[in-house]
Amino acid sequence: MKPYIHKVQYYETDKMGITHHSNYIRWMEEARVDFMEQIGWGYDKMEECGIISPVIGVECEYKQTTRFNDRIRIELEVSGYNGVRLTFKYEMRDIYTEKIVAVGESKHCFLSEEGSPMALRKQFPELDNVLKIGLKNDGSDFSDIQED
């Protein structure tokens, strides 16, 4: 999988010139959306299929400050998946110094449009298989997945 690169924007910084902590959560979402598109299951496709995947938990630990114009590489992996719940881990690094700037985790579930839990194994086995492959390979190798 190709990592996601985020360029820190001026509006993301505070009066001290440091990226505001809330933005790292947004970057995790950007990387997650990019990841899902890369595996052929973008959020638009999931919603067309009637799949809703809300965030049910999020954590972020800040290691280094970032500033305007920094480039941050965000790598993520599927660290947990049971067919109904999904957990991603994120590592954010400055692309020039290779220093880790933050690490995080987000937890999700799969629901129908009506809000009831959805077992992907039964209703969307293609998506279920892609996520299982990612879990087996620590989320790092989806090279044999074909995009729709």
pLDDT at 136: 67
* 146, part of any domain: no
Amino acid type, 142? F
Mean pLDDT, the chain, rounded, equals: 92
Whether 14 sits among the annotated catalytic residues: the reply is: yes
Domain containing residue 110: CATH number = 3.10.129.10
Would you give the distance in Å from CA 9 to the centre of its chain? 20
| Residue numbers of the domain that contains 57 | 4-136
* 148, part of any domain: no
Residue carrying structure tokens 């279920």: 128
* 130, part of any domain: yes
Asked if 120 and 134 count as a contact pair (C-beta separation under 8 A), the reply is no
* 93, part of any domain: yes
* 91, part of any domain: yes
Longest dimension (CA), the chain: 51
Choice among 14, 44, 138, 141 that is catalytic: 14
* 141, part of any domain: no
Q: What is the DSSP pairing of strand 100-109 with strand 4-7?
A: unpaired
pLDDT at 143: 43
Number of separate domains in the chain: 1
For residue range 26-36, what is the model confidence (pLDDT) as tens digits?
A: 999 999 999 99
For residue range 61-105, what is the model confidence (pLDDT) as tens digits?
A: 999 999 999 999 999 999 999 999 999 999 999 999 999 999 999
* 145, part of any domain: no
* Whether residue 38 has pLDDT greater than 70: yes
* 82, part of any domain: yes
Element (H, E) at 55: strand 55-62
Closest CA to 12 of 72, 55, 91, 63: 72
